[in-house]
Amino acid sequence: MQFVRAAWKFLVAIKDGMVLIAMLLFFFGLYALLSSQPNSAAIRDGALLLDLNGVIVAEPAAPSFEDFLAGSGSDTPREYRLRDVVHAIDATVGDDRVKAIILDLSSFAGGGQTSLTDVGDALARAKKAGKPIYAFGSFYSDDSYQLAAHATEIWLDPMGGIIFAGPGGNRLYYKGLIDRLGVTANIYRVGTYKSAVEPYMRTDQSPAAREASEALYGVLWDSWLSEVKKTRPAAVIQPFADDPATFAKAAGGDLAKVAMEQKLVDKLGDKTAFDRFVAAQVGTDETPSPDSFKSINYDDFIAANPLDTAGSPIGVITVAGEIVGGETGPGMAASGRIAEQIYKALDEDEIKALVVRIDSPGGSAFASEEIRLALLEARKKKLPIVVSMGDVAASGGYWVATAGDHIFAEPDTITGSIGVFAVLPSFEKALAKWGVTADGVQTTPLSGEPNFVGGFSDDLNVILQSGVENSYSDFIKLVATARGKTPAQVDTIGQGRVWDGGTARQLGLVDGFGGMKDAVAEAAKRAGLAEGDYHAQYLDPESRLSWLPFDGIPFVRQESAPVNGVIGWAAQRQKAIFGQALATAQGLLAREDVQALCLECGAGVQRKTKASADWLDRLLAYSFSSAPR
C-alpha cells in the first residue's frame, strides 16, 4: 500500500510539474509578444534601418508557437509584407526625421522578382526625393543586388563577394528511384507543358518543358539585367555574369576585388566600418556602442505611418500561397477563409469595389472554384472586381483571376499554366518483393479501390483520368468566357504552359501592366469615384497564433479536408485503406492472447491510428487538382 501511495504521489508530481512548465512557457511567450509590440512614439532623427533578415512576401504566414516564444528579438528569418516595406520607404519622403535609408542585406533571403521591382521603385522615389540610401552586404546575389543597385552607395565586406546566378537551374527527377523502390506513380494530367509531374514519370526534362522554361527564364533574366543596368550604368554586369570563373581566376579568387574592379560596389568595408560611415552621416547613437548610428526601427516606423483612410474604401482581398481548402492561413490561400472575407465585404455597404491581389502558384481546383464563386457573388451585386497579379498568378491562381472585370499584371509576373494533374502512389511492386500480396471479393469494379497493394484497376485509371480531363475542360471554358475567346483558342495557349506577364498580355490573358496602385485606381474608376476620393482597405485575416494554449500542449491544429471530387475520394480512401492495413499489422503484433476478432468486420470502418496519421499524410496526400510548374 505504501508503494501505491508513493507511486501515486510521484505521478501527481509529474503532472503538476508539466502543468507548471506549460504555464511558464505560456506566460514567457505572452511577455515576449507584448514586449515586442511596435512603439510609434519611439521615432527620432536618424536612418530608417531596413535590416531585411528573411524574405519579402505578399502575405506573411500566421506566427507559430516558436515565433510566439521567440518574440521580436529572435534571429529567426522573418517574412516581410511587401506593401509594408514599400509603404515604409515611401513614408520617408517628406519626413525630415529620416536622414537616410539603410539596407542591411547580409541576411536577406530574397523575394519574387516583381516584388523586388516594387521595392526598388520605392527606393528610386525616395532617392529622387533626396534621401540617401546606403546598402551593406557580406555577400550579394541576384535578389539582394537587385535592391542594393538602387542605393546611393553600395558597401561590401572585404571577405565577401558577388555572384549572379540568374533564374533557372536543375530539378530532381525521381523516376529511377521510385522504379528501384518498386513504387508506382499513377499520374493523371492534361497539358503538354504541365511539367510538375515529370519528376515522377521521367529521368530528365521533356523537350516541351525545356522550351517553356527557356522562354520564361530568358524574359526574367533580361528584365533583371535591364533594371540593374539602369540603376548602375557603369557596372560591368553581363560579362561577369556570363563568365564569372575567368574574372574570379584573374583576381586570385578574391570576389570582393572583382566587385570593386567591375564597379559593382562602391566601397569595401566590414560592418563596423560601415556603421561608422553611416554614423558620420546621420549621427552617432552612444547607447549601444560608440560605432552605432542613430537608427529608426522599421516596425516602429510602420506603426507611426498608418495607411491613408480618407475617402471611400476599396476592399483588397489577398490570395497568397498555395490554394487549399479550409480555414488555415495566412501563408496559405485557404478558400474557406478567403471566401468568408469576400462575403463579409459584401455585407459592408461602404466598400465600393474589390481588388483581388493574387500571388499564388495555384493548388486545389475545388478551392480555387470556391474563391471564384464568392467573387461572382460580388459581381452579382454590381461590385467592380479588379485583379492585381504579383510575382505569380498561375494555374489555380489564374482560375481565380477569371472572376475579375479587369486583370493587371507586371511584365515579370509568372502566369498561365492552364492545366491540371493528379498523382497517387501505389506500392504493388515494392510490397511484392517482401511477399505482401492482395486478394479479396469485389461487389463492384471499384470495391477496394484504390488498391495500393495490387495496383490500381483499369476502371479506376479511366475514371481518374476522365475526372482530370473534365477539370481541364471546365478550366478552359472559364478562361474562354472570361477572356472572350473560344475554348479551342484557350486550349492552344493553355496545355499547362507558363507565360511571363508581357507574353500573357499579348495572348489576351491579362488586360494591362500595373501594380496595386493601378489596380486600386481602376477599381475606383469603375465604381465612379474621383481621384483622391478613395483608399485601399485591406481585408486581411486577424493575425492570430495557429495553436490553442489552453488545449494542454500547444500544437498546431490540423483540419480535416473535405472530399473534393473523384481524385480527393481516391486519395482519402487510399490513406484510409493503408492506415487500416498498418493498424491491423500493429494490432496483431501487439496482442498476446487468444483473439475473438473479426478482421473483415472492420473493412467498412475507415480509420487510421494516431501512430500512422502524420507520416501517412506526408506519404500519401500528394493529390493535386491544379498546380503550375
Please give the angle made by the CA atoms of 149, 151 and 152, to the nearest 5 degrees: 125
Instruction: Check if the beta carbon of residue 148 is closer than 8 Å to that of residue 424.
Output: no
- Run of H or E including 316: strand 312-320
Spatial separation of the C-alpha atoms in residues 522 and 543, rounded to whole Å: 29
Spatial separation of the C-alpha atoms in residues 546 and 544, rounded to whole Å: 6
Q: At what angle do helices 113-128 and 82-91 cross, to 10 degrees?
A: 10
Spatial separation of the C-alpha atoms in residues 486 and 47, rounded to whole Å: 55
Q: Work out whether strand 312-320 and strand 534-538 pair parallel, antiparallel, or are unpaired.
A: parallel
Spatial separation of the C-alpha atoms in residues 121 and 89, rounded to whole Å: 10
Instruction: Check if the beta carbon of residue 84 is closer than 8 Å to that of residue 302.
Output: yes
Contacting residues for 491 by C-beta, under 8 A, at least 6 apart? 476
User: Is 80 exposed, middle or buried (CB count within 10 Å of its CB: 0-12, 13-18, 19+)?
Assistant: buried
352 is catalytic: no
Nearest to 55 by CA among 119, 127, 4: 119
Which member of 335, 368, 395, 471 is catalytic?
A: 395
Spatial separation of the C-alpha atoms in residues 355 and 319, rounded to whole Å: 11
Which member of 194, 294, 485, 575 is catalytic?
A: 194
194 is catalytic: yes
Torsion over CA of 34, 37, 42 and 45, rounded to 10 degrees? 140
Instruction: Give me the amino acid identity at 385.
Output: I
Catalytic residue numbers read 194, 395
